[in-house]
Amino acid sequence: MYQQPIFEGRTIMTPGPVEAHPAVLRQMVQPILGQFDPEFLKIMNEVKEMIKVPFGTKNKQAFAIDGTSRSGLEAALLALIEPGDKVLIPAYGRFAYLLGEICQRAQAEIVWLEKDWESPFEQSVVIEAIKEHQPKIVAMVHGETANAQMQPLDQIGAFCRENDVFFVVDMVATYGGIELKVDDWKVDIAIAGTQKCVSVPSGMSLITYNDRVEKYIQPRYQKELGLGSDEQSERYVRSNYLDLTQLQRYWGPERINHHTEATSMVYALHEGLRLLLLEGMENVYARHTKNDRILTESLEKMGLEIFGARETKMGTVIPVRIPEGIDGEEVRALLLDQFKIEIASSFGSLKGKIWRVGNMGYSSRQTNVLHFLSAFETVLKKVGYEFDYGVGSTYALEEYLK
């Protein structure tokens, strides 16, 4: 007989998923409403408006897609790419290669611009590559969780707009934790997720795109078979489930049936966004900035080195070099087994070289910072790392008491 699984609570200090806000989880047990129930449509409309605020946009099109953040990335790229289209992908971390994977499967011609993972690109380097290769699309990651680096976007976006290049940006790791300016940065499509700074379980992607994109994808729309044959296109998007032209009509006033909505996730997303706006976005960003600073400085007091360029480190992840002679996985295992705290390792060239400590959403709070630092010091002492024991947690507490 299968047993009902019951888990002890964790302090999740990874770059995602993070701890869901308790109020969000409570909303998920609300009664199920039909997807065209007037009360549910009201919730959907409010979600559309709230999504725009952390993106920093006034775009008409902003909605959620049922599926993890990857679903939004794929929907965005499939909407724009037709076989043979050229896409420039500047890669300074692991998740740019995911964008390339999606573009490759969409039969795009990919131009890679690659560098080490210590820092993002100088914007001028990307602009020169655009001039050289003349792509239809530039697809970039704003905040790379693999190395905690953040790419400046304003000049790239402006150049793309001036030269009729679509600018698609993955903002999954920064949405809701770092101020975004989709409109000011001339981003055509921006994508985020629920499982990081929105403090909602994984399962939905957030997307916004401007009139320029909407005008381009409109001729690719065709009504789903069985719903009518009045609108067909030879250039239709090569996915049914992730077709933005259909999804926008499902979330829009047309309410053309597309799929059965993940009702409880929409409740959760509504609450997660509502709580962000209730706290006030300036306060949300200030909280993340403060906790990032205290965590980073406390770790340095312990003699640990922060990986990568400091001036472009994003405030939602702290990348910590694993000291020589220390088994990084043993440390992670002790934190989880003895303290129920989870931190992350990394990918690719950084696998086994850094720990990644998340500072996102509901997990970005004083109690978590102090709990993590105290436990981390204890574990590091246990595995033989030599440092002034207690210096990190003491420093953090003093900073919070100021």
Outline which parts of the chain fall under CATH 3.90.1150.10: 281-401
CATH 3.90.1150.10 is held by the domain 281-401:
yes
| Helix ranges (DSSP H) in 237-358 | 244-251, 263-279, 281-301, 328-339
Give the CATH fold of the 22-276 domain.
Aspartate Aminotransferase; domain 2 (3.40.640)
List binding-site positions for substrate: 356
Residue environment code for 228-258, b if the CB has 16+ CB neighbours within 10 A, otherwise e = eeeeeeeebbbeeebbbbbbbbbbeeeeeeb
Q: How far apart are CA 398 and CA 59, in angstroms?
A: 43
Calculate mean pLDDT across residues 358-375. 98
- pLDDT, one tens digit per residue, over 220-279 is 998 888 877 667 788 989 999 999 999 999 999 999 889 999 999 999 999 999 999 999
- pLDDT, one tens digit per residue, over 86-145 is 999 999 999 999 999 999 999 999 999 999 999 999 999 999 999 999 999 999 999 999
- pLDDT, one tens digit per residue, over 28-48 is 999 999 999 999 999 999 999
Calculate mean pLDDT across residues 51-58. 99
Listed residue (79, 84, 78, 50) closest to 64, CA to CA:
50
Residue 18 pLDDT > 90: yes
pLDDT of residue 229: 66
Q: How far apart are CA 398 and CA 388, in angstroms?
A: 16
Q: How far apart are CA 130 and CA 107, in angstroms?
A: 20
How many Cβ atoms are within 10 Å of 26's Cβ, its own excluded? 12
185 in Cβ contact with 159 (< 8 Å): no
DSSP secondary structure code for residue 263 in this structure: H
334 in Cβ contact with 379 (< 8 Å): yes
Residue 129 phi, psi dihedral angles, 5° rounding = -65, -35
The pair of structure tokens assigned to 157 is 């976006």
pLDDT of residue 22: 98
List binding-site positions: 356
147 in Cβ contact with 307 (< 8 Å): yes
Residue environment code for 90-102, b if the CB has 16+ CB neighbours within 10 A, otherwise e = bbbbbbbbbbbeb
- pLDDT, one tens digit per residue, over 143-175 is 999 999 999 999 999 999 999 999 999 999 999
Outline which parts of the chain fall under CATH 3.40.640.10: 22-276
The residue whose two tokens read 């007989």 is 1
- pLDDT, one tens digit per residue, over 170-207 is 999 999 999 999 999 999 999 999 999 999 999 999 99
Cα–chain center distance at 175: 6
Q: How far apart are CA 13 and CA 358, in angstroms?
A: 5
Sign of the torsion angle spanned by Cα atoms 375, 381, 384, 387: positive
pTM score of the predicted model: 0.97
Per-chain mean pLDDT for the chain? 97
Sign of the torsion angle spanned by Cα atoms 364, 366, 369, 375: negative
Neighbouring-strand partners of residue 253: none
Calculate mean pLDDT across residues 62-78. 98
The pair of structure tokens assigned to 117 is 């993972």
Residue environment code for 36-66, b if the CB has 16+ CB neighbours within 10 A, otherwise e = eeeebbebbeebbebbbebbbbebebbbbbb
pLDDT of residue 322: 99
SS3 state at 330: helix
